[in-house]
A = this chain, B = another copy of it.
Amino acid sequence: MPDSMTMFRLEGLPDFQQGDDLAGSIICTLEAQDKVLKAGDILVIAHKVVSKSEGACIDLAQVTPSADALALAKTVNKDARKVEVILSQSKRIVRAVKRPDQQEGVLIAEHKNGYVCANAAVDESNADHPGQLILLPEDPDLSAQRLCQRLSRHFSCEIGIVISDTFGRPWRLGQTNVAIGLANVPAVMKMEGELDAFGRPLSVTAPAFADELAAASGLLMEKSAKAPVIVFRGLDWPITQSSSQDLIRAQSEDLFK
């Protein structure tokens, strides 16, 4: 295991719209700064630029709320069209909450891809225009794999990709970035069978490597700036056929539903 690593933020990326070539933009932006990707680099990419370039966005003006959405919208004081979009992205609503001090409440939802998060990850911030909602990419692992193939081929080396979103936590305040799409990067490092520093088995230790990377990216990823790509360099990690699904606790193991 190396004893140090560096992270840098890729500055100067453009805005993205449906059909834009995100991988091409990353390559051009790196090369304009005389930077290259090296073997073992990992890029954490905020999902919004992936979603936008893939067209995973929707305008509220196009949405007609269902009766379910209208009812739920009253409970949490949300635009019923926004609730309709959240329902369309969800397997189920875990909890609908509006505290007295909140103007607009929150729908804790199980996203159709399995992530449990606020409002099924449907978001207005960094949208191109008011009334636009940004969704998660349709298949974030596939998006990560495509980006990874393009970048690995261009720079003639194997890299890893983590696509991230920003989630709250049930028992802790503030948000951290988590991994929602993976290519090459292990979701969880398996340490079962290894020993601790004193020779006893580390039976239940399984660091969530991809989420550690995502959370770390938040140290350099400013929401208020256009800095959606963070490069990690110097880590030693095994190239792995992985999926963001490997980070999702099965409903049968959910202690809190």
Contacts and interface: CB of A to CB of B under 8 A. Distances in A.
A220 interface: yes
A175 B205 contact: yes
Interface residues of A, number: 72
Given A97-B255, A178-B172, A206-B174, A196 B125 contact: yes
B225 A171 contact: no
A4 B4 contact: no
Contact of A215 (B7, B130, B211, B248): B211
B178 A208 contact: no
Given A4-B8, A6-B6, A173 B223 contact: no
A151 interface: no
A142 interface: no
A188 B173 contact: yes
A112 to B, nearest CB: 15
A3 interface: yes
A209 B248 contact: no
Nearest to A246: B173
A116 B187 CA distance: 24
A191 B4 contact: no
A211 B248 contact: no
A177 B166 CA distance: 17
Contact of A8 (B3, B125, B209): B3
A124 interface: yes
Contacts of A116: 171
Given A8-B3, A174-B247, A256-B170, A219 B212 contact: yes
Interface string A156-169: 00000000001001
Contact of A248 (B171, B208, B253): B171
A61 interface: no
A7 B5 contact: yes
A202 interface: yes
Contacts of A198: 126-128
A34 interface: no
Contacts of A7: 4-7
A227 B141 CA distance: 33
Contacts of A20: none
8 contacts: A95-B256, A99-B253, A127-B200, A172-B249, A197-B225, A209-B219, A212-B215, A216-B216
Given A172-B178, A177-B212, A205-B223, 5 more contacts: A5-B6, A5-B219, A170-B249, A212-B215, A216-B216
